[in-house]
């Protein structure tokens, strides 16, 4: 039996590949377990400095399994109280894990990112897409709401008005339009998507690991707190990074005009 999410690490960059192409990488229990487990592994490993999330086959992720919706199976069946708990202990573990991911994450969207698949791409910090990529907050098409956190992530990416339009219509957004509205950073040629994602990840991974992780946390957490709280977090994190050997190495390398050698301490 193949792994639900492939884990590949090279030079401080981990690539997580959703690996159920027969369902267009619909979010399954196996994918949930694998993603959550991989995030915990990455957070413990200070050698990892950036993550790429992509999909096997011709698409990123088709989101929820429509056949399970029809047959009232998995998260789409049983009593209301059980469905609620099923979401919390099921698919909602993904947004909680991705929110807690300490290193920057790049979504390399290689095709359709629909429903929960669209939301998974929003959970990443940066999104690149090939020309075949399409996005849809498609829950309305099947009479559902975004039970995996899309209503929280999407307005933060594209603004409330555009998020509302995508949610209430369920319309598909192609790659060029996605770039125009800020849903993705840029469109790249189909055969260059992973190369471009790795180039960007490598640039990010070249930074001192403690500073990188704290910068991500500060950027993320500052969105939901008043300015005085954000400033207090910034000063505390500044005190932490200034105590690291890597911060001094960064300063010395800058002055000496040489490549820094970070040790993660």
Residue 127's contacts (CB-CB under 8 Å, 6 or more residues apart) are 106, 107, 109, 121, 178, 183, 184, 185
Residue 123, φ and ψ in degrees, nearest 5:
-75, -15
What CATH number corresponds to the domain at position 252?
1.10.12
Residues 74-111: tens digit of each pLDDT:
666 678 888 888 889 999 999 999 999 999 999 999 99
Both 183 and 100 in one domain: the answer is yes
pLDDT of residue 1: 53
Both 236 and 138 in one domain: the answer is no
Q: Tell me the Ramachandran region of residue 234: left when phi exceeds 0, alpha when psi lies from -120 to 50, beta otherwise.
A: alpha
Number of structural domains, the chain?
2
d(CA 74, CA 70): 11
According to DSSP, residue 225 is labeled S
Q: Which domain holds residue 169?
A: 5-205
pLDDT of residue 208: 95
Q: Domain for residue 264, yes or no? A: no
Residues of the chain with pLDDT under 50: none
pLDDT of residue 92: 96
Both 77 and 34 in one domain: the answer is yes
The angle at the Cα of 205, spanning 120 to 14, to the nearest 5 degrees, equals 50
């Amino acid at each position: 039996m193949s792994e639900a999410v492939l884990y590949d690490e090279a030079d401080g960059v981990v690539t997580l590949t959703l690996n159920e192409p027969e369902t267009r990488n619909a979010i399954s229990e196996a994918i949930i377990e694998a993603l959550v487990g991989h995030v915990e592994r990455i957070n413990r490993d200070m050698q990892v400095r950036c993550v790429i999330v992509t999909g096997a086959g011709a698409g990123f992720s088709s989101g929820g399994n429509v056949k399970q919706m029809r047959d009232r199976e998995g998260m789409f069946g049983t009593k209301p109280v059980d469905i609620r708990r099923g979401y919390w202990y099921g698919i909602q573990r993904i947004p909680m894990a991705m929110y807690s991911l300490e290193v920057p994450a790049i979504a390399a969207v290689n095709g359709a990112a629909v429903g929960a698949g669209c939301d998974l791409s929003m959970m990443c910090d940066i999104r690149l897409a090939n020309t075949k990529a399409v996005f849809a907050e498609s829950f309305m098409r099947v009479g559902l709401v975004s039970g995996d956190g899309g209503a929280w992530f999407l307005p933060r990416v594209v603004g409330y008005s555009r998020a509302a339009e995508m949610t209430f219509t369920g319309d598909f957004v192609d790659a060029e339009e996605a770039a125009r509205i800020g849903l993705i950073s840029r469109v790249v040629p189909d055969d260059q998507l992973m190369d471009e994602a790795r180039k960007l990840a490598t640039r990010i991974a070249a930074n001192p690991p403690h500073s990188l992780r704290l910068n991500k946390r500060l950027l993320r957490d500052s969105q939901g707190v008043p300015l005085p709280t954000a400033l207090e977090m910034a000063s505390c994190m500044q005190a932490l990074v200034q105590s690291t050997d890597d911060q001094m190495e960064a300063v010395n390398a800058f002055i000496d005009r040489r490549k820094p050698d970070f040790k993660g301490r």
